[in-house]
Chains A and B, each alone.
Chain A
């Protein structure tokens, strides 16, 4: 059996978990095993039911009165107890911050290896995986030796596809936890002020790099993004120079984005930035250097100074929209 750890927040299942289930379903057909899901937290019954559509035949609902927000050690211990009870061959999660953390903790508890951010798994005499290295600018083929097999699925590696299971049941699992298991927990959450669409969810993202030149230079990018209902991001150069807040960094040490269109302004195309664009459908690059590596990775290119082109573009779009 394959056990998939489902990530959810305020009544919504993470898209990355549905992608993970899609990959798990493919694996289940190869090894002839069922896909089970595990959810931790409160009010998870209805969420669990929605997983039938993704081929899950059984959902384990881990419940304890003390579960409120994330408590990594209590969650880990619960998962380890569930694994001991239902004995899966494979345990998998989404390759998100939380998924990677939880599975690493489970791996440490079980004393087994774990492969983070896999794009492919190959069961057989040996269990092969292909995983992202260097934030995705390199792939590694590796073998996972011990049992059970633990891996996370890289976000955007497979598209989430539904395929309803014939049967579906939920089962409650009550872990045996002590107070000590809650020594690390979220004691409160701070909500950010809502300022438009967030980077990971935006359909259009306008990104700026070294060529933008200053915090002031980002104004026109913001204006363009606003016109297109999008969000603004930057390269590591832009955030390290303080031109943008760090949370706006796109790339290996920042956010992964997946818009329909990414407009890259004054961005050279360093790998550390490009790996943040894995899920991006189309890239339009504006750069004055025709030799910039970004042009070999973009769909559309405009050669020229963004400080001239972007204001002219804003003016034209405003006119078109006014018609």
Chain B
């Protein structure tokens, strides 16, 4: 079985972040980068599929030269091959991103193509779906369980009050959600091996976007000051009075 997993390099933001002066991006000086959370689970799922069924795995990203760091992270965990669709680092809209991925993978024979349900920064909810549609292969979005049996896939999606179960033929695209598995940490040996691995690079120039970013801005914070009800156990009667006032009890 051949598995492809697509990931995105995103800044690892904490409780606060600031924008750059031109309001085009988050100020990432002093920030670490990581693989977007849903995609970390997609990488883990790819590794587990190969461990179980055999075959080869490939990780792909579209991003700047520096995104090689995230590819090596996936290699260190056990992915075999890495492909970098190298850009100048500016943001691509989901349509352009999907098209570049389609062109890069069209000639390859992947049985399972894994994406995150949405990336942490862009939140466009589209790239995996657009890739599937362009390749004319089936896709299930937002899955939290995946099994391959006799060349077909059984995927589960969590919905309010239960689960939807899908059965579909391969090849297929799946966009996964965090919770499908617990991603492993790379081993020291994995990290050493990954350092030496060759990353395949394809340089791309940016096409015209259809969703054109103008600027980013911070949303209005919740207004008003926090009302401190007290400290420690002594605050309990005040909390209860407040809960009554709010009609909770």
Asked whether, in the complex, the Cβ of B210 is within 8 Å of the Cβ of A112, the reply is yes
The CA of A187 and the CA of B155, in the complex, are separated in Å by 10
Chain B interface size, as a band, is: 35 or more
The CA of A192 and the CA of B159, in the complex, are separated in Å by 10
Tell me if B235 is interfacial: C-beta within 8 Å of chain A: yes
Tell me if A109 is interfacial: C-beta within 8 Å of chain B: yes
A101 cross-chain contacts in B, Cβ below 8 A: 125, 129, 141-142
The CA of A203 and the CA of B168, in the complex, are separated in Å by 38
B43 to chain A, nearest CB (A): 15
Task: Choose from A191, A252, A282 the contact partner of B120 (Cβ within 8 Å).
Answer: A252
91-117 of chain A: CB within 8 A of chain B? 97, 100-101, 104-105, 107-109, 112-117
A268 cross-chain contacts in B, Cβ below 8 A: 15
Tell me if A305 is interfacial: C-beta within 8 Å of chain B: yes
Q: Per-residue 0/1 for B205-249: is the Cβ within 8 Å of any A Cβ (1 yes, 0 no)? A: 000011111111111011010111111110111011011101111
144-187 of chain B: CB within 8 A of chain A? 144, 156, 158-169, 177-179, 182
The CA of A285 and the CA of B227, in the complex, are separated in Å by 10
Asked whether, in the complex, the Cβ of B15 is within 8 Å of the Cβ of A104, the reply is no
Tell me if B196 is interfacial: C-beta within 8 Å of chain A: no
The CA of A88 and the CA of B123, in the complex, are separated in Å by 25
B222 cross-chain contacts in A, Cβ below 8 A: 283, 297, 299
The CA of A144 and the CA of B212, in the complex, are separated in Å by 6
A246 cross-chain contacts in B, Cβ below 8 A: 144, 178-179
Which segment, of B58-66, B69-77, B132-140, faces chain A? B132-140
A321 to chain B, nearest CB (A): 7
46-64 of chain B: CB within 8 A of chain A? none
Tell me if B2 is interfacial: C-beta within 8 Å of chain A: no
B64 to chain A, nearest CB (A): 19
Chain A interface size, as a band, is: 35 or more
A15 to chain B, nearest CB (A): 11
Given contacts A139-B217, A247-B158, A302-B231, contact A228 B248 (CB under 8 A): yes
Asked whether, in the complex, the Cβ of B141 is within 8 Å of the Cβ of A187, the reply is no
The CA of A286 and the CA of B236, in the complex, are separated in Å by 11
Q: Nearest residue in B to A296 (C-beta to C-beta)?
A: B226
B233 cross-chain contacts in A, Cβ below 8 A: 304, 308-309, 312
Asked whether, in the complex, the Cβ of A191 is within 8 Å of the Cβ of B161, the reply is yes
Asked whether, in the complex, the Cβ of B129 is within 8 Å of the Cβ of A146, the reply is no
A316 cross-chain contacts in B, Cβ below 8 A: 236-237, 239-240
Asked whether, in the complex, the Cβ of B139 is within 8 Å of the Cβ of A114, the reply is no
Q: Per-residue 0/1 for A255-276: is the Cβ within 8 Å of any B Cβ (1 yes, 0 no)? A: 0000011000000111110000
Most chain-A Cβ atoms within 10 A of its Cβ — which of B164, B182, B221? B164
Asked whether, in the complex, the Cβ of A183 is within 8 Å of the Cβ of B229, the reply is no
Task: Choose from B121, B177, B213, B242 the contact partner of A142 (Cβ within 8 Å).
Answer: B213
Q: Nearest residue in A to B183 (C-beta to C-beta)?
A: A240
The CA of A191 and the CA of B162, in the complex, are separated in Å by 4
The CA of A205 and the CA of B239, in the complex, are separated in Å by 15
Tell me if A172 is interfacial: C-beta within 8 Å of chain B: no
B247 cross-chain contacts in A, Cβ below 8 A: 260
Asked whether, in the complex, the Cβ of A303 is within 8 Å of the Cβ of B228, the reply is yes
Tell me if B13 is interfacial: C-beta within 8 Å of chain A: yes
Tell me if A145 is interfacial: C-beta within 8 Å of chain B: yes
Tell me if A43 is interfacial: C-beta within 8 Å of chain B: no
268-316 of chain A: CB within 8 A of chain B? 268-272, 282-285, 293, 295-305, 308-309, 312-313, 316
The CA of A107 and the CA of B99, in the complex, are separated in Å by 13
Asked whether, in the complex, the Cβ of A284 is within 8 Å of the Cβ of B138, the reply is no
Tell me if B20 is interfacial: C-beta within 8 Å of chain A: no
A149 to chain B, nearest CB (A): 10
Asked whether, in the complex, the Cβ of B168 is within 8 Å of the Cβ of A184, the reply is yes
Asked whether, in the complex, the Cβ of A297 is within 8 Å of the Cβ of B142, the reply is no
Asked whether, in the complex, the Cβ of A186 is within 8 Å of the Cβ of B235, the reply is no
B61 to chain A, nearest CB (A): 19
B224 cross-chain contacts in A, Cβ below 8 A: 299
B232 cross-chain contacts in A, Cβ below 8 A: 303-305, 308-309
B241 to chain A, nearest CB (A): 10
Tell me if A249 is interfacial: C-beta within 8 Å of chain B: yes
Asked whether, in the complex, the Cβ of B230 is within 8 Å of the Cβ of A143, the reply is no
B212 to chain A, nearest CB (A): 5
Task: Choose from B126, B140, B142 the contact partner of A108 (Cβ within 8 Å).
Answer: B126
Q: Nearest residue in A to B91 (C-beta to C-beta)?
A: A140
Asked whether, in the complex, the Cβ of B15 is within 8 Å of the Cβ of A269, the reply is yes
Leading 3 A-B pairs by shortest Cβ distance: A113-B210, A246-B179, A108-B133
**15 pairs of residues in contact across A and B, judged by CB atoms under 8 Å:** A107-B95, A112-B95, A137-B218, A138-B217, A139-B218, A141-B214, A145-B209, A186-B164, A189-B159, A198-B160, A228-B249, A247-B179, A308-B233, A316-B240, A317-B240
| Interface residues, chain A, with chain B CB atoms under 8 Å away | 9, 69-70, 72-73, 97, 100-101, 104-105, 107-109, 112-117, 128, 131-146, 183-192, 198, 200, 203-204, 227-228, 236, 239-240, 242, 246-247, 249, 252-254, 260-261, 268-272, 282-285, 293, 295-305, 308-309, 312-313, 316-317, 320-321
